[in-house]
Amino acid sequence: MGQRIVVDLEELHDCFLRHFKFAGIKHGDYLKIDSNSITVVDESVYINKDITNREVFQSEVREIVGKMWGGFAILIYYFMDEPDVLYQKEGIFILKATVENPVFARNLEWLIEEVKSFKDGAFDDVKLVVV
């Protein structure tokens, strides 16, 4: 598979829900598949969100972990007919964050470090991309 495939996770999410007949799960925005990796990308905007506040920080960690694991569940569904593909490629979850204040990006790095502690079994790596 030398080409890159990009899949809208919202469309997959809808198929997933029809198949399993339940209300919904959190998930990222899209899935990228190339010859070496499978990447779930969540695009989020962080404006005036004080993640230095412990409650806000923990809430944001829960939100991202939910999207990470929900994306993984949808990924398993997507590859249910060819499960070996999941084991042959590196799994990556990327938080692509739009920030208003560059200083805030440092706080997001702490957030990602916390999220990484919940990746076991789902992804090989969790990354932050600040735009």
- The pTM score is 0.84
Helix boundaries (H) for 7-121: 9-20, 54-78, 84-88, 102-116
pLDDT digits (tens, 9 = 90+) for 28-39: 899 888 889 999
Report the distance separating Cα 31 and Cα 75, nearest Å: 8
pLDDT digits (tens, 9 = 90+) for 34-80: 889 999 999 998 887 888 889 999 999 999 999 999 989 888 888 88
Report the distance separating Cα 128 and Cα 12, nearest Å: 23
